[in-house]
Structures are given as C-alpha cells and as structure tokens.
Structure 1
Amino acid sequence: MVTMLIFNDGNSNKFWEIKVAGKSHTVTYGKVGTVGAVKVKTFESEEACQKDADKLIRSKMKKGYVMANPSEQVMKESKMTDLEFWELLKISKQKGENEEEQLEWLINHLSKRPVKEIVMFDYYFNQNYLKSYTSDLWAAAYIIMGGASDDTFDYFRAWLLYQGKETYETVILDPEKIIPHLKVLEDEEDIPELEDLLSVASIAYEEKTGLEYDDYYDLYEKLTGDQNIVSEIELDWDEEDEVGLKKKFPALWVRYGENPLE
C-alpha cells in the first residue's frame, strides 16, 4: 500500500509518502520536487505495521495534508544512475594521492547527498560487483596472489571494480587482460585488494544520519528490493592442479605462477 500526501499553505509545499510492505513501512518526506528524506520502521506483525501507518496518515491529514493528485510528479526520482556511479568512482581517483584519501573523499561526497542517492550508489555497486563473481576470475586471482580465500577474492573484485568500467568489464571477459593494470602494484610490492570500497555507502549513511549498519541494511533492502544474496559458484578448476591452471591462464601463470603478488 502506498499513500502520497501533500501540504501547501502558501508558505510550505511539502509531500509525505508512506509505503507499507509486510511488517515494515517506509516514509519519504520533504519539499515537493526533491527526492526527500527516508525513514524505515519495522514491527512485530503486519497488523501492527498497518495500524501504525493508518495512525500516521490520520495525523498528517489532521495537520492539513491532502491526497496528492496521481498525475502530478510530486517527488523527484534519485538522479543516481549506473552512469553516475561509474563517474563518481572515476572522479574519486582524482581526489587524493592514494586509495585511502580517494575513498575518504567519496564517503564525504556521498554523505552530503540525499539518503536515497547513497542507497542507489550502493545498489549499482552491488549489481556491477556481482558480475565479477565468476570461476575464471577467481582462478586468475588465485594465480596472481598465490591463493585466494573467499574474503581475498571479494577484496580483489572490489579493487578491480575501482579500476573503472571499461577495465572491469574487459577483465571479467578475459582475466589475462588484467596484467597491464598490475604493473603499478608490482613496482610498489602491493596486492590487488580494496576491502574499504565495500563499505563506502554504509559509512556515508552513518556519517549523514548517525545511524548504524543494521539500520542502513534494512533501508537498503526496503528501497531497492535487493537482498544482496550471492549464490555459490562451482569452480571449474582445482587449486592443486598446477598443470590445469597453467593451461587455463598461461600468460598469468608465466608472470605470477612462481612469483605471486603478496
């Protein structure tokens, strides 16, 4: 159930929307023509949730709010798109001398934007990040670093995504195309991992609202419908089979098989 109300007394022009879904309701409110602020509340039962929503609607209408005209665009959609997501990553790489400073800028930038845009940044991150969860890329990471646990592979994929859309999508299709992008790490004796990128959005949300990760995840799920569940993949390679790994990615093996980044 969705109810959209507006209030206009000549001085204020505001909207208030509530969406009820199961045991939770999501309230979005703000000036007409903006994306608004968002709050999510969860109850012990669907009945309790609906009862609270009805109470809030009655309270708003007593204050002078009226039903919005369905044909009017009261609330602005978030301007965060997949294109904007990639552009922000590109800009962030110009905002510091190292990845720590760059991600600090990105968090600060996101924390100044509406909550919906923080959430949608994370949504596009997750949708793109999921594309790299492949058996071939895991084999490549294993060769490059001389081993790759679940967590190591996660951080490797985050680092790869941070290299930009073109590089990311190219390497997913052909993991050996990653070699030129590892040269800087070889020189610096570093490894291709970027764990901190995984939590950029949730930290930005916490800085903006003062609320913690559990609140953020609940809001993320309600706004996007994405439960961020990753299915297990079946590896088509064996870490004990060096011959098979050499055959799978000969160029990577020649470069890192006996001398991995670590």
Structure 2
Amino acid sequence: MEAHLIYTSRFSNKFWKISVAKTSFAIIYGRIGTDGTVRVKDFSSPEACKKEAHRLIQSKLKKGYRPHVTAQHEIKESSMTEAHFWQLIDDCKSHGDDALEHVEWLVSRLSEKSVTDIISFDSFLNEHYFKSYTSDLWAAAYIAKGGCSDDGFDYFRAWMLYLGKDAYYEAIADPQSLLPYLKGLKKQEEMPQLEELLSVASDAYEKKTGNDFDDYIKLYDQLMQEDYSVPDIDLDWDEDDEESLRKMFPELWEAFGENPLGT
C-alpha cells in the first residue's frame, strides 16, 4: 500500500508520501523538490498499521492534499548512481592509513548526504554483495584462509567490494585475479575481511539522524522493498578433497594451500 499526495497553493508547495509494509509504515514529507523528512512507525498488527495509514491519508485529503498525478511534482530523487557508489569506495582509500580509517571516512562522508542517498548507496552495496555469493569465490576464500565459515565468507565478500569496481568484477569472473591483493595482505599479516563495510550506510544514517539500526532497517525495507535474502548455492567442491581444490585454482593453491593467510 502506498499513497503519494501533494498540496499546492499560492503560499505552499508540499508533498506527503506513505509506504506501508506489514506492521510498519514510512512517511516522507516536505517541500516539493527536496529530499523531505522521513518518519517510521510500528504497529502491533498489519490491520492496525493499515487502519492508521488510511486515517492519515483521509486526513491529508481533507486538508486539501491531492493524489500526485504529474511528473513535475516529484520528491527529489537520490543523486546516488552506481558510478558514484564506486567512486566513493575509491575515494575513501585516500583518507586514512588503513581500511578501518577508510570506512570511518566513508561513514562521515555519507552522513553528509540525504537519507535517500544513504539508502541508495546501501542498495548498490547489497546488490553487488549478493552477486558475489558464488561457489567459486567461496572456494577461493577457503583456500586463501585455510578454511572459511559462513560469516568468514560474508566478510571476505565485503573486502572484495572494498577493492573497487575493477577488482570486484575481475574476481567475479576469475577468483584467481585476487591473488596479488591476497599476497599483499600476506606481507602485511592481515586477513581478507572487512565486516565494517557492511554497516557503513546504517552507521551514516545513525550519525545523520540519531536513529538506530532498527529504524534504519525498517526505513530501508519500506523505501526499497527489495528481496536480498541469501540464495541457496550448491558448493561444487569438497573442503576435504584438497586435490579438487588444487585443480580448481592452482595458482591460489600454490600460494596458500600449504601456507594460508593468518599462519
């Protein structure tokens, strides 16, 4: 359920939009052409949520709001594009001495943007993050680390995104392209993991609004309405079959099979 209303007069030019999903709704309101202000409210049941949403819509209509019908009356759209997403990933590496400082800068930079930009950044991150959930990449992570749990693979894929667009797409096509980066970590005695990148957007949202992670997730679900549930994949390798792993990625095995990262 969704309603997008506008109110225009000689002295006012406003919008009001409500998006309902299950037991909560999100409202965005403000002057037309701006990002607006966002509010999220929870209810005890879907019925109670819909009832209150309907009451609010009727109240707005009685005050003179009308359904949005023309393209010129739009909430300001997010300026976050995929190109801008990757540019921010690249830019963060110029601010700080290590990955954690780079992530801190990214949180700070994002918090200066609109809420819709923050959420759009997270949407791009989630899209690429789930695209990297593949059997081949998990095998590569397993070889490099000498083992890789579910959580370990999550943080490995976050590290992959941190490497940047070109490295990310090359790794999707051929996991052995990660070899130079992994060797670099070996010299620095570090691991291919960056859990902190996964919460950049929610941290930026909290820094900007003062609202917590739960509020952010509700708002994200309301506005994006995406289904990024973890897909089921069949691993086409056996962790106990070293020979099959060696054949899959001989270069990675030569570098880390007997001497994985962290040892």
- TM-score, with length taken from structure 2: 0.91
- Once residues 140 and 228 of structure 1 are traced to their aligned partners in structure 2, the CA distance between those partners, rounded to angstroms, is 23
Residue of structure 1 in register with 2:24 after alignment: 24
* Distance apart, 1:16 and its partner CA: 1.3
Percent identical pairs in the alignment equals 52
Identify the range of structure 1 (109-118 vs 247-256) with the bigger mean alpha-carbon deviation. Answer: 109-118
After superposition, the C-alpha distances for 1:26-81 in whole angstroms (9 at most, x for unaligned) are 21112211222222223233432233123323444555544444343331211212
What is aligned with 1:256?
256
Question: 2: distance between equivalents of 1:133 and 1:157?
Answer: 8
In structure 2, the residue matched to 1:108 is 108
Residue pairs, 1:236-255, within 5 angstroms: 236-255=236-255
Give the C-alpha shift of residue 94 in structure 1. 1.3
1:186 and 2:186 aligned:
yes
Please provide the CA RMSD for this pair.
2.0
> What is the alpha-carbon distance in structure 1 between the residues aligned to residue 66 and residue 134 of structure 2?
51
Output the CA distance in 2 between the equivalents of 1:199 and 1:89: 14
**1:208 matched to 2:220:** no
CA deviation profile, 1:7-41 (whole Å, cap 9, x unmatched): 44555432211233444332111221122222222
Q: 1:191 to 1:47 in 2, by over 3 A?
A: closer
- Supply the AA of the counterpart residue of 2:104: E
For 1:141, give the aligned amino acid. A
Instruction: Report whether the alignment pairs 1:52 with 2:52.
Output: yes
Question: After superposition, what is the alpha-carbon deviation per residue over 1:100-148, rounded to whole angstroms, capped at 9, x for unaligned?
Answer: 1111111111112121211111111011011111111111111111111
* Matched residue SS, 1:93: helix
In structure 2, distance between residues paired with 1:71 and 1:227: 27
Distance 1:210 1:176, change over 3 A: same
**Displacement after TM superposition at 1:157 (Å):** 0.9
**Which residue number in structure 2 is paired with residue 14 of structure 1?**
14
Q: Residues 71-150 of structure 1 correspond to what in structure 2 (within 5 A)?
A: 71-150=71-150
TM-score, normalisation: structure 1 = 0.91
Residues 28 and 247 of structure 1, relative CA distance in 2, 3 Å threshold: same
CA distance in structure 2 between the aligned counterparts of 1:37 and 1:187, rounded to whole angstroms? 48
- Any idea what SS the aligned residue of 1:44 has? coil
Q: Give the CA deviation at 1:253.
A: 0.8
Q: Structure 2 counterpart of 1:19, which letter?
A: S
CA distance in 2, matches of 1:71, 1:167: 39
Please state whether the residue corresponding to 1:228 is helix, strand or coil: coil
* Distance change in 2, residues 1:146/1:21 (3 Å): closer
- The answer for unaligned runs of 5 or more in structure 2 is none
Aligned partner of residue 176 in structure 2, secondary structure: helix
For the 8 Å contact 1:143–1:252, the answer to whether it is kept is: yes
| Structure 1 Cα separation of the partners of residues 91 and 109 of structure 2 | 11
Task: Name structure 1 gaps, 5 residues minimum.
Answer: none
3-state SS in 2 of match to 1:200: helix
Equivalent residue number for residue 41 of structure 1: 41
- Indicate conservation of the 8 Å contact 1:82/1:124, yes or no: yes
In 2, the alpha carbon distance for the partners of 1:181 and 1:90 equals: 15
Q: Which amino acid aligns with 2:110?
A: L
**CA distance in 1: counterparts of 2:254 and 2:108, whole angstroms:** 42
1:149 maps to amino acid: S
**Could you say if the C-alpha distance between residues 22 and 199 of structure 1 is closer, same or farther in structure 2, counting changes exceeding 3 Å?**
closer
| Larger displacement relative to structure 2 (43-52 or 146-155) | 43-52
1:223 is aligned to 2:226: no
Partner of 2:172: 172
